[in-house]
Amino acid sequence: MARTADQIVAEQLGALHLQLVISQARVEAAEEKVAELTACVHVLEAAEPSKEDAETEEDLHAV
């Protein structure tokens, strides 16, 4: 039985919709990972001594 043009278009549209849903899920997962990594960077930056915090020349070289 031959498929009509409408059936072919409907199937293609369904496949594209599925690809869109999968892509959206991947984007959401990537955004969550970026948020996690950003939080880690903030923790590391907070734990790292800065040049502004160095009180002595020795402290400055430690940074």
pLDDT digits (tens, 9 = 90+) for 23-47: 999 999 999 999 999 999 999 999 9
- Report domain extents, the chain: 5-62
Examine the pLDDT at 63 and tell me if it is beyond 70. no
What is the dihedral sign for C-alpha 14, 16, 22, 24?
A: negative
pTM: 0.63
Q: For 2, list phi and psi in degrees, rounded to 5.
A: -80, 140
